[in-house]
Amino acid sequence: MRILVIEDDAGIADTIRSGLERAGFLVEAERDGESGWFRGDTEEFDAAVLDLGLPVLDGLTVLKRWRKAGRRMPVLVLTARGNWDERVEGIDSGADDYMSKPFRVEELLARVRALVRRSVGHPAPTIEIGDLALDTRQMRVVRAGLPVALTPQEYRLVSYLMHHQDRVVGQLELTEHLYLQDTELESNAIEVLIRRVRQKLGTDTIETRRGFGYAIKGPSA
């Protein structure tokens, strides 16, 4: 899952980035509203963490531009100001959640996980497909009651496919959501990653739809 963080305070931005990365997310960060708006308007993200008090372009303007352009990614708004009228304005502008500074990173992570799950129709913290279960809080994958040891990249692949279990996901989309923008990849990187996960979860776990992409299905699907 790929998260856009727009925060001009370097210390806060680094704290958010490290927390999200520990929780298994890929993080792209910007320090001003103009750059952040452009990234969110031209690239695909699973969620955004957006500070309101940004230089160049304020956070509310960024949010309003995204929503006007039809950008639907869930947005968690951060602000150092706790006025109720600002909260109302942020939510009315299209924010999905709201946190005031200072905040606990653990709470921010829980809120981001919830936003990502709900955006694709999974309100519960554990996603199950057949005998395969993904615990988004513990970053753990279990099959037939047994935990499966996955690398961080393998976990991201399984997580993304399970979050989007109702559709086939193409290679380009997987590349955009599993790797940072400046990562140099071999042309068969996704195929290699799929092969490794199949070796650990079973060859029947990830289905290939020729010409379309991949999907995770349970044994009874």
Domains, the chain, in order of start with CATH, read: 2-119 (3.40.50.2300), 126-216 (1.10.10.10)
Distances (CA, A) of 178 to 43, 136, 138, 193: 13, 16, 19, 11
| Contact indicator for 3, 28 with CB cutoff of 8 Å | yes
Task: Say if residue 71's pLDDT is above 50.
Answer: yes
pLDDT tens string 125-171: 999 998 999 999 999 999 999 999 999 999 999 999 999 987 899 99
SS3 content of the chain, % helix, strand, coil (to 5): 40, 20, 40
Q: Measuring CA to CA, which residue among 63, 61, 17 is closest to residue 40?
A: 63
Q: How confident is the model at residue 184 (pLDDT cuts 50, 70, 90)?
A: confident
0.95 exceeded by the pTM?
no
Q: Which secondary-structure segment (H or E) carries 193?
A: helix 189-201
pLDDT on residue 82: 64
Task: Say if residue 221's pLDDT is above 50.
Answer: no
Q: Span 105-118, mean pLDDT?
A: 96
pLDDT tens string 3-34: 999 999 999 999 999 999 999 999 999 999 99
